[in-house]
Structures are given as C-alpha cells and as structure tokens.
Homo-oligomer: A and B are copies of this chain.
Amino acid sequence: MALVKPVIAQGKTLLIRAALKLAMKTRSIRALGVREIGREAGLNPNTFYRHFSSMDELGLAILNEVIRSLRVPLREMRRTAADSIAGEVPAVRVPAEYWTTSLKKTRLVARETINLYFEFVLKNPEAFTIGVTELTGSSPMLREALQGTITDLAADLAEDIRILQLLPMVSDDSVQRISRIVIREIFMLSVDYIERVEAREEIRELAYFFLINLVAGTIAMEVSDNDTLATLMATLRG
C-alpha cells in the first residue's frame, strides 16, 4: 500500500523559498522574474514551469505559506496569553463587579498578547513583510487574498474576545469593529517593528496605548451609568 503522493516535490519548495527570500528584499511578488527565482533556487530557469503555470500561481502559493504561518499560531498565542493569566470566569454575573473582573483580565491579556505578538513577528519577518506589502501591492488577486486574511484574523480576535469574555460590556457589533481596526493597525506596525530595531519598545508601547484607549473609548460610548463607567475606566488606567 504505497502512500499517495507523500512528498511535495522538493524543487517546488525550493522555488517557493527562493521567491519568499527575494520578495522579502524587493517587496513585491509580482516584480519577481522566473529566471531570477530559478537562479536563487539553484535550479534551471524552466523548472518553474513544472510547478507553476504563472507568476500569480506562485504568488498564491507563497501567500498561502504566509497565511498558514500566521493564522493558527496567532490564535494559539492569544489563548496561551489568556490561559496564563486568567483565573476562572466568575459564574455570578453581577454586572459592575463581573465587568471589573473581566476588564482587569483584559488589560493583562492585552499587554501579554501584544508582547507575544511582536515576538512572533520577529520570528516570521518574511511572512509579515510580504503580507503588509502585498496588502496594498500590485496584484489584485493577492490583495484580495490578504484582505480576506485580515478579515479572518479580525473574526478570530472578535470570537476570542467573546469566548474569553474580555469585553462583556461592549456590543458584538463594536467588538467586530474594534477587532478589525486593531488587527489592521497592529499588522501595519509589524514591518516598522521588524525594521526599526531602536524603536521596538516605543512601538509596543504605542500599540498598547492604541488598543487600550480604543477599548476604553468604546466602553465609554456604550456604558452610560456614571458610577460603573468610572470604575471601569479606573480599572483600565491600572
């Protein structure tokens, strides 16, 4: 019983790796050349055609590699952050008190997630650099794929916020919106983070500032009871 196609052709992975490396430098998948990639991979120029029928096909292969290396790990990361910090979700849901407890957790999870996130960025510089570049790059197909990824990541975040009960006082709709904005902004910050070594701490700080203030504002717009609001804001100030 022979396995069906157990191995991915090694030339194909070589080509993808070479393209990743080159795209990281030149900041564009589309501008890569067939011969250029072959050269970098140490293969014959036309080996390319054994595996891909066009550049866009290679582009998608690269992007899938990139996307796959982002989504699942990011989600796991957030769970880890939550687990390492959170105790049990309180069973009794007396609003004011329950909310305050949640929000304490949220603050810590936010801080921890941001730290883990930027560590993760440094471990996958190609994925993030290419991701950010192609988000507004020259291939409509790749742009679309990456917009979709952002949407997915935002949906993941929103779901986690709900499941982990990090913002029980905020409407689902607002959680969705916040998630999307936060994912986008922090995603954009990633490349800066990779490149501007001296500014890393500042960038992490900015991300935290941004995240917490946006969350605080959203809560403030939705919670109209003065005492509750005062307590919640005090909690976020820490």
- A interface residues, Cβ below 8 angstroms from B: 26-28, 30-31, 132-133, 135-138, 174, 177-178, 181, 184-185, 188, 191, 206, 209-210, 212-221, 224, 226-227, 229-230, 233-234, 236-237
Contact = CB atoms under 8 A, between A and B. Distances in A.
B138 A31 contact: yes
A96 to B, nearest CB: 14
Given A31-B138, A138-B26, A236 B221 contact: yes
Count of chain copies: 2
B191 A177 contact: no
A178 B224 CA distance: 24
Contacts of A132: 136
Which 5 pairs show the lowest CB-CB distances between chains A and B? Answer: A217-B217, A216-B217, A213-B217, A27-B138, A226-B230
A30 B227 CA distance: 57
Nearest to A231: B226
A28 to B, nearest CB: 5
A136 B27 contact: yes
Contacts of A212: 217, 221
Contacts of A178: 213
A179 to B, nearest CB: 12
A24 to B, nearest CB: 11
26 contacts: A27-B137, A136-B137, A136-B191, A174-B209, A177-B206, A177-B210, A181-B185, A188-B188, A210-B214, A213-B214, A213-B217, A214-B217, A216-B216, A216-B218, A216-B221, A217-B217, A217-B218, A220-B220, A221-B233, A224-B234, A226-B226, A226-B227, A229-B229, A229-B230, A229-B233, A230-B230
A76 B152 CA distance: 38
Contacts of A221: 212-213, 216, 233, 236-237
A135 B184 CA distance: 15
* Most B C-beta atoms less than 10 A away, residue of A135, A209, A213, A226: A213
A220 B184 CA distance: 24
A234 B185 CA distance: 27
A233 B220 contact: yes
B210 A224 contact: no
